[in-house]
């Protein structure tokens, strides 16, 4: 029996319509030369997801499955799966996504030909056209650095293949449930350089009506609070780096967004303290936020934002 090289990490919650497709796509990668395990953590699903997983796993020994008694969030489920991983590398594969037929072969080819990296990125299927029309589209591969992600010049989803020991060192932030970029930035900073390869190795459904990405839409207090927590973490952990690389405009944008969340939550005392900090940083508020702050009409501003977001994403 070959040693496990790749641990496929899949958190799942209420995806009985697609989890089988995800598991089958991993099973198609199994061969005698590359050791693979598929670790699935059910995040307290209330539908038939876990029953489907158990039945399929009973016939496929490469699958290791676990279940939370209650929903804890994607990051908690992902972290638990990573803690169980025995592979040298982890591949993050969400439950509504699935591998292309030769995904692992292509990943292994890239890794063998470029062994000096601990983190490999591959093209997400829905961004293939964007990347192919990029000015660097003639490049099959490109090395990215931490500051590329910090600046926002490189952003969005990728298929991630990461050394397991790196992931275990930097667990995903469970207090915000999603917002994975907060942890990825720490990983990018630790690694220094990453290799991007313009191969599609997984098909990503990014426009599902139940996508966890919807959690980032600030349409209620719970989501606004989570967004605020993420911004506080971001500013605390990356403020010095943003200044070091002269990305002050990004720091300003995040301070303004944090202030806006305080207005949406009618936290005017916190907003006043933050405004004092922003003045010291020479960061000026947009006029509309000054009006909301001095008139204390955050409740109205929140209603208007909720209406706008629901209209903008009405077809999602």
Percent share of the chain, pLDDT over 70:
91
* Kind of pairing between the strands at 4-12 and 159-163: unpaired
**pLDDT above 80 for 131:** no
Q: Mean pLDDT of all residues in the chain?
A: 91
pLDDT band, very low/low/confident/very high, at 191 (cuts 50, 70, 90): very high
Predicted confidence at residue 212, as pLDDT, reads 56
Predicted confidence at residue 133, as pLDDT, reads 40
Is 123 strand, coil or helix? strand
Predicted confidence at residue 56, as pLDDT, reads 98
CA separation for the pair 251, 257 (Å, rounded): 10
Q: Is the pTM of this model over 0.85?
A: yes
Predicted confidence at residue 18, as pLDDT, reads 96
Residues 291-306, mean pLDDT to the nearest whole number? 95
* Kind of pairing between the strands at 63-67 and 35-42: parallel
CA separation for the pair 285, 157 (Å, rounded): 30
Q: Which residues contact 47 (CB under 8 A, 6 or more apart)?
A: 14, 16
CA angle 143, 148, 151 (to 5 degrees): 175
**pLDDT above 90 for 205:** no
**pLDDT above 90 for 136:** no
| Helix boundaries (H) for the chain | 19-27, 49-57, 74-84, 103-113, 128-132, 146-150, 164-169, 181-191, 221-244, 248-264, 268-280, 287-295, 298-312
Residues 168-186, mean pLDDT to the nearest whole number? 91
Tokens representing 301 are 């501003």
């Amino acid at each position: 029996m070959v040693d496990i090289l790749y641990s496929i990490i899949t958190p799942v919650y209420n995806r009985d319509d697609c989890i089988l497709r995800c598991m089958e796509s991993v099973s198609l990668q199994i061969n005698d030369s590359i050791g693979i395990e598929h670790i699935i953590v059910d995040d307290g699903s209330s539908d038939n997801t876990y029953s489907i997983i158990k039945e399929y796993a009973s016939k496929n020994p490469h699958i290791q499955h676990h279940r939370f008694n209650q929903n804890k969030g994607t990051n908690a489920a992902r972290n638990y799966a990573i803690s169980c991983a025995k592979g040298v590398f982890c591949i993050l594969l969400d439950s509504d996504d699935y591998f292309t037929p030769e995904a692992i072969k292509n990943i292994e080819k890239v890794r063998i030909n470029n062994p000096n990296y601990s983190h490999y990125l591959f093209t997400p299927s829905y961004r293939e056209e964007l990347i192919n029309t990029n000015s660097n589209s003639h490049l099959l591969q490109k090395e990215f650095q931490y500051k590329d992600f910090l600046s926002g010049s490189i952003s969005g989803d990728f298929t991630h293949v990461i050394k397991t020991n790196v992931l275990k060192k930097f667990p995903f932030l469970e207090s915000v449930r999603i917002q994975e970029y907060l942890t990825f930035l720490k990983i990018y900073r630790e690694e220094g350089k990453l290799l991007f390869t313009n191969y599609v190795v997984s098909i990503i459904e990014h426009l599902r009506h139940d996508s966890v990405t919807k959690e980032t839409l600030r349409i209620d207090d719970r989501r606004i609070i989570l967004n605020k927590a993420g911004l506080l973490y971001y500013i605390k952990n990356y403020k010095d780096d943003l200044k070091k690389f002269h990305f002050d405009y990004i720091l300003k944008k995040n301070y303004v967004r944090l202030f806006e969340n305080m207005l949406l939550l009618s936290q005017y005392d916190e907003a006043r303290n933050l405004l004092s900090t922003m003045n010291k940083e020479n960061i000026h508020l947009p006029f509309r936020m000054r009006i909301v702050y001095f008139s204390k009409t955050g409740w109205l501003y929140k209603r208007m934002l909720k209406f706008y977001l629901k209209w903008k994403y009405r077809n999602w």
